[in-house]
């Protein structure tokens, strides 16, 4: 079944200053994620409590330790991430940029959103708003992401080698991926699409741990899968280990995937942590920290007891987040209170973090979705900035922002992105 991707009828207003702030901090976030991925001590310490109670994170962590023990064959590293924000409305009505999370694996919609500015430009023209249409910014994340993949492919240094998109068993977002793929073909880079199951059945390593798929060498593995427990059975875990052990550039490598966990995000907000991870970069640290919302550890101990009690007393101030990706997992309001009440004295508590709830100012828009009635809704938006970087050994050879994504949803949905069927694609109209 083919459906059109859901989108807003009209572009949404976004404060220009906050939009620019989000772009200005993206290279800093790239640096930070890359630094975390190389800091074994930090990852070990930060995830110690989580991996005791969260099986999925524990499994990823085991692969991470295993490849480190063997010694990394990979020498070129490619990060594609998306840092997501909402605009928190203060009591005096001014909005502040607040990071929701940073996605370090399978950050999607860079392809489809490369088309949305044209759609909204056309709608504005049909409405007689030609001047407004001309103000929409060009945006082409597909090109930016492909640039990173192409750079990594080039540094891998084998003309014959291919790029492999690691894709889902049931592919729900294929056209988004094809936009990036086509940019690579335009650069004469060969692309194949394979599932974990294919890797398990037909993937192999040679003596120097070069990765072969169906007899052909693979230079870059770009994961659009593998970020939730449901993506894995025993064979898929074995395939993941094979890929991680290989010399191929993984986007992301397993360390970078772990750097994107919610537990790491919470730990970053602790005073002094950024200073340890990015020594000698006070300006980058200030830009990063200015985007943080309040984040709280639920680890066992007095600090966790205190914040758990506060959240039970006032649940609407917070969001309770498990170590999951993909939308629809967080808990709010009464449900948050009930769950916290139940787990507050058990170790299970440490598989969650608490975060201050961001409260944006709603605006009216129409959400267009296949098979859904058309009606005007009160909406809020989430801005994502794509980041791309490439490191060879210790040298960062590429570090840039690669475009943006605006997703908008009706206010009655507390959680969930586009893939979860809640948010739709949008275009920022800067004000």
For position 377 contacting ligand ADP by CB under 6 A, the verdict is no
Q: Is 171 annotated as a binding residue?
A: yes
User: What whole-number distance in Å separates Cα of residue 377 and Cα of residue 398?
Assistant: 41
**Is 80 annotated as a binding-site member?**
no
Q: Please count the CA atoms within 13 angstroms of the CA of 390 that sit on its side-chain side.
A: 20
Question: Residue 226 is inside which H or E element, if any?
Answer: none
User: For this structure, is 202 an active site residue?
Assistant: no
Q: Does 421 bind ligand ADP (CB under 6 A)?
A: no
Q: Is 401 in the site for ligand ADP (CB under 6 A)?
A: no
The residue (of 127 and 290) whose beta carbon lies closer to ligand ADP is 290
Active site residue 381: no
In order of 5, 123, 126, 385, the CA distances from 119 in angstroms are 12, 6, 11, 20
Ligand-binding annotation for 156, yes or no, is no
Radius of gyration of the chain (CA): 21
Query: Any idea which residue has 């007689």 for tokens?
Result: 128
* 294 contacts ligand ADP (rule: CB under 6 A): no
Pseudo-torsion of CA 179, 183, 189, 194, nearest 10°? -10
Q: 183, 244, 267, 325: which one is catalytic?
A: 325
Binding residue count for ligand ADP, defined by CB under 6 A: 19
The residue range among 108-116, 284-292, 340-348, 351-359 that interacts with ligand ADP, by the rule CB under 6 A, is 351-359
Stretch 54-83 residues interacting with ligand ADP (CB under 6 A): none
* Residue from 21, 38, 44, 101 in contact with ligand ADP (CB under 6 A): 101
Task: Rule CB under 6 A: choose which of 330, 381, 399, 408 binds ligand ADP.
Answer: 330
Q: Which of 355, 402, 405, 425 binds ligand ADP (CB under 6 A)?
A: 355
- Is residue 323 marked as binding? yes
C-beta closer to ligand ADP: residue 238 or 415: 415
245, 262, 263, 349: the active-site residue: 262
Q: What is the token pair recorded at 389?
A: 């970087």
Alpha-helix runs per DSSP H in 71-209: 116-126, 130-135, 141-156, 174-186, 196-202
Q: How far apart are CA 143 and CA 70, in angstroms?
A: 35
Beta carbons within 8 Å of 145's beta carbon, 6+ residues apart:
80, 110, 180, 183, 386, 388, 402
Neighbouring residues of 404: CB distance < 8 A, sequence distance ≥ 6: 19, 22, 23, 113, 139, 141, 383, 384, 385, 386, 428
Query: Strand 95-103 vs strand 76-89: parallel, antiparallel, or unpaired?
Result: antiparallel
End-to-end CA distance of the chain: 38
Check if 326 is active-site: yes
Considering only 415, 419, 421, 430, the residue that binds ligand ADP (CB under 6 A) is 415
Q: Which residue is nearest to ligand ADP (CB)?
A: 358
Q: Is 325 in the site for ligand ADP (CB under 6 A)?
A: yes
101 is catalytic: yes
Q: Answer yes or no: is 82 a known binding residue.
A: yes
If one asks whether residue 357 binds ligand ADP (CB under 6 A), the answer comes out as yes
Q: Which is nearer to ligand ADP, 408 or 427 (CB)?
A: 408
Residue 262 appears among annotated catalytic residues: yes
User: What are the structure tokens assigned to 141, written together?
Assistant: 């994340």
Is-contact 379 362, C-beta < 8 A? yes
297 among known catalytic residues:
no
List CB contacts of 73: < 8 A, sequence separation 6 or more: 208, 209, 245, 246, 247
82 is catalytic: yes
Binds ligand ADP by CB under 6 A, chosen from 136, 221, 293, 405:
293
Q: For ligand ADP, which residue of 180, 319, 343, 388 counts as binding (CB under 6 A)?
A: 319
Known binding positions for ATP: 101, 262, 321-330, 332, 355-358, 382, 409, 415
- Name the residues that contact ligand ADP, by CB under 6 A: 84, 100-101, 293, 319, 321, 324-327, 329-330, 355-358, 382, 415, 417
Positions marked catalytic: 82, 101, 103, 108, 262, 321, 325-326, 407
Known binding positions: 82, 101, 103, 105-108, 171-173, 177, 224-227, 262, 321-330, 332, 355-358, 382, 407, 409, 415, 418-419
């Amino acid at each position: 079944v083919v459906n059109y991707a859901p989108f807003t009828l009209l572009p949404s207003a976004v404060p220009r200053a906050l939009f620019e702030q989000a772009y200005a901090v993206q290279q800093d976030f790239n640096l930070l994620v890359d630094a975390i991925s190389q800091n074994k001590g930090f990852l070990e310490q930060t995830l110690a409590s989580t991996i005791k109670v969260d099986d999925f994170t524990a499994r990823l962590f085991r692969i991470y330790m295993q490849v480190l023990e063997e010694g990394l064959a990979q020498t070129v590293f490619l990060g594609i991430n998306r840092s997501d924000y909402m605009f928190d409305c203060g009591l005096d009505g001014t909005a502040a940029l607040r990071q929701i999370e940073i996605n370090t694996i399978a950050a999607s919609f860079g392809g489809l959103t490369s088309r949305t500015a044209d759609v909204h430009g056309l709608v504005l023209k049909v409405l007689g708003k030609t001047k407004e249409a001309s103000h929409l910014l060009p945006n082409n994340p597909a090109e930016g992401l492909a640039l990173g993949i192409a750079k990594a492919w080039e540094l891998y240094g084998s003309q014959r080698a291919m790029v492999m998109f690691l894709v889902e068993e049931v592919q729900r977002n294929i056209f988004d991926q094809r936009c990036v793929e086509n940019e690579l073909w335009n650069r004469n880079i060969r692309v194949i699409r394979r599932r974990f199951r294919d890797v398990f059945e037909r993937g192999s390593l040679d003596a120097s741990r070069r990765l072969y798929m169906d007899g052909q060498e693979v230079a870059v593995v770009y994961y659009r899968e593998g970020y939730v427990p449901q993506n894995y059975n025993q064979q898929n875990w074995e395939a993941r280990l094979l890929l991680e052990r290989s010399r191929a550039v993984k986007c992301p490598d397993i360390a970078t995937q772990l750097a994107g966990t919610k537990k790491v995000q919470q730990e970053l907000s602790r005073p002094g942590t950024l200073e340890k991870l990015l020594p000698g970069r006070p300006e980058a640290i200030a830009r990063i920290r200015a985007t943080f919302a309040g984040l709280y550890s639920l680890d066992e101990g007095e600090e966790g007891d205190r914040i758990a009690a506060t959240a039970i007393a006032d649940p609407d101030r917070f969001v309770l987040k498990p170590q999951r990706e993909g939308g629809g997992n967080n808990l709010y309001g009464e449900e948050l209170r009930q769950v916290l009440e139940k787990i507050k004295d058990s170790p299970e508590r440490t598989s969650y973090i608490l975060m201050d709830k961001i409260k944006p100012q709603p605006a009216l828009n129409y959400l267009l979705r296949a098979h859904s009635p058309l009606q005007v809704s009160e909406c809020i938006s989430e801005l994502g900035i794509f980041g791309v970087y490439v490191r060879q050994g210790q040298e960062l050879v590429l570090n840039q922002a690669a475009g943006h994504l605006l997703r908008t949803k009706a206010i009655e949905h507390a959680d969930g992105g586009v893939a979860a069927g809640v948010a739709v694609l949008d275009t920022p109209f800067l004000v």
